[in-house]
Structure 1
Amino acid sequence: MTSPTRAIVAYGPYQDGGWKMQDITLRPLGDNELLVDMVASGICHTDLHFAGMDSGYGVCYPRIMGHEGSGYVREVGSKVTSAKPGDPVLLSFSPCKACEQCRTDHPGHCVDFNPINFEVRTDDYLVAREASSPSTDLTIHGKFFGQSSLASLSIVNEASVVNVSGLVQSREELALYSPLGCGIQTGSGAIIQAAKADKSDRVAILGLGGVGLSAIMGAKLQGCSTIIGVDRFDSRLELAKELGATHVINTANMTSLDQLTSEVRKVTNGLGTTITLDSTGVPAMIREGLNLTGFKGKLIQVGVAPATATLEIPIFEFMVAGKQYMGVVQGDVQPQTYIPQLIRWVQEGKFSLDRIVKMYPAADFELAMKDMQSGATVKPVIVW
């Protein structure tokens, strides 16, 4: 059986006008797949990154992007056990569940993360032909992060599914929670799970988009003694203070990034931070993040840097200081347990998700993209 759906299809880089809303028809469901009626999907910079290039790793057109979906299960494959038709679900990335990292509760560092979530490898990853031209051979690729959630109806890997039955009572709640499966768990999880922050920590968050502000809220949840938000926009800095930052630093008028280290040292009584999280992916900012991190401190890398970017570290100085530079993917969390915890924190008023999310009708996806890129909206969510 095939199913019709509306989808935002990328035919090329977004900045070149390569995205358009259209009707398509989905292929039949596989044994380990679910058909999900999407309620909403968050839009992430990763969607634009992988559908923003002419060629390269993971680039394949035409393709449906989206990896922060939420919705209700319509149909399940014969081997699916995680959900049944009618269940509310949130969607996250797909791990293999078999490698050493997956078996030790680090699925974000699955050894097959890239091929499973980014690549189009076999016919199993093809979605369908255009409904308007059923006689053509054009196939539209899906399964981005196992879900391709920028569609009103999507075929989803079972590994991407987080069943939230009993936690979510309405479509409105599902829409609000849709970004939890990537950016929100990345920022908060990096602080809570990967860095294991506590009340003794002095934390700096570089970049205050959805990931960075989630990290601010994660640090507040952990009771960190000092929480420093760093950004170029006053509006983001003010929001960071409202969400838990004890100090903020605006880099807009700095003539040199070493001024940032000086400001952080002032705030931390000359000690520097114990945890620094970079969500910018800007090599110069990352290098300065290492400078402002104190002895035995950790620099947590979650921002995606250019593929060819490198970081030069003075080896002796780094060794003597006992610092750590850690790459973290998806907050190093297990989504099936961490996302329900995030929902409970939101419901208890401990995690102000509604302060960073803005809803857009799916038809207005171009406005949502524009507002995200300009910084007018922290976390846009399109609603079907």
Structure 2
Amino acid sequence: MFFGQSSFATHSVAAAASVAKVDDDIDLGLVAPLGCGVQTGAGAVINAGQADPSSQVAVFGCGAVGMSAIMGAAVVGCKTIIAVGGNPRSLELARELGATHAINRREVEDIAGEIRHITGRGADISVDTSGNGNMMLNAIRGLKFHGTFLPVAAAGSLEHFEVGADIMMPMRTMRGTCEGESNPKQFIPQMVKWYKEGRFPIDRILSFYDFKDIDQALRDSHDGKIIKAVLRIS
């Protein structure tokens, strides 16, 4: 059991209060990631960030959580959606999923400056899914005055962080958020609805493996060949 959400088993016991109902015609393989990483990313933008069509959003990291944040921003219709990552294939996919701009961190020296250049003032919301200290620092410094930084990675630390220059004087907010501040009973069916409407293409970031191929799934994930592995137990 990991994080109280999943297990390598064909059956599990759960309290009724912890169960979210989805449509009978939806593939449970598509639904499986919604309760953790997907609602974390999408919910960070939609629920915690309260993004709207006027919002300019920067997402750091293009894994499953980052891609979900990008799709969430796209569902809302955000004005600007900037994907920041280091894998060209992932950045290309991010654009296909709704990012209006992509920044390759390996090619751009001043990431925060590039975000300010794209937005004209800095992002309203930045979401870091990487846990990398340098990425988090750029996520903060790329914000506008009164912008909001949402760190959602479970690990990582900030170094050379200047409270006065980075947070206090620009009057920015750094806000902790977990699981996208979602009500799963409502948000998971909502994501399924968006998917069925063609507005939330979760299938684009999923790769399916038989359980016997779990080691290959781990290797492909580590090598950046896939975004999100889903194991099927037959």
Does TM, scored on the shorter chain, surpass 0.5? yes
1:147/1:154 contact within 8 Å kept: no
Determine which of 54, 75, 86 is the counterpart of 1:200: 54
1:181/1:335 contact within 8 Å kept: yes
Determine which of 272, 281, 288 is the counterpart of 2:122: 272
Determine which of 368, 371, 377 is the counterpart of 2:217: 368
Q: Which amino acid aligns with 2:152?
A: V
1:77-127 Cα distance to aligned partner (Å, 9 max, x none): xxxxxxxxxxxxxxxxxxxxxxxxxxxxxxxxxxxxxxxxxxxxxxxxxxx
TM-score (norm 2): 0.93
Once the two structures are superposed, the pairs formed by residues 248-267 of structure 1 within 5 Å of their partners are: 248-254=102-108, 256=109, 259-267=110-118
| SS in structure 1 of the partner of residue 230 of structure 2 | strand
CA RMSD of aligned residues (A): 1.6
1:154 counterpart = 2:20: no
Please give the alpha-carbon distance, in whole angstroms, between the structure 2 residues aligned to 1:349 and 1:214. Answer: 14
Once the two structures are superposed, the pairs formed by residues 156-305 of structure 1 within 5 Å of their partners are: 156-164=14-22, 167-169=23-25, 173-254=27-108, 256=109, 259-269=110-120, 271-305=121-155
Greater helix content: 2
Please give the alpha-carbon distance, in whole angstroms, between the structure 2 residues aligned to 1:160 and 1:373. Answer: 31
2:151/2:175 contact within 8 Å kept: yes
Please give the alpha-carbon distance, in whole angstroms, between the structure 1 residues aligned to 2:206 and 2:180. Answer: 19
| SS in structure 2 of the partner of residue 321 of structure 1 | coil
Unpaired runs of 5+ in structure 2?
A: none
1:321-347 Cα distance to aligned partner (Å, 9 max, x none): 121101110000111111010111111
Please give the alpha-carbon distance, in whole angstroms, between the structure 1 residues aligned to 2:17 and 2:164. Answer: 40
CA displacement at 1:303 relative to structure 2:
1.4
CA displacement at 1:318 relative to structure 2:
2.3
- Length, aligned pairs only: 232
Percent identity, aligned pairs only?
40
1:205-224 Cα distance to aligned partner (Å, 9 max, x none): 00010010111111111111
Higher relative contact order (CA 8 A, sep 6+): 2
1:5-54 Cα distance to aligned partner (Å, 9 max, x none): xxxxxxxxxxxxxxxxxxxxxxxxxxxxxxxxxxxxxxxxxxxxxxxxxx
- Which residue of structure 2 lines up, in the alignment, with residue 7 of structure 1? none
| SS in structure 1 of the partner of residue 155 of structure 2 | coil
Please give the alpha-carbon distance, in whole angstroms, between the structure 1 residues aligned to 2:73 and 2:150. Answer: 13
Once the two structures are superposed, the pairs formed by residues 28-177 of structure 1 within 5 Å of their partners are: 65=1, 144-164=2-22, 167-169=23-25, 173-177=27-31
Greater strand content: 1
1:146/1:157 contact within 8 Å kept: no
Unpaired runs of 5+ in structure 1?
A: 1-64, 66-143
1:219-246 Cα distance to aligned partner (Å, 9 max, x none): 1111111110010011011001101111
TM-score (norm 1): 0.58
1:168/1:174 contact within 8 Å kept: no
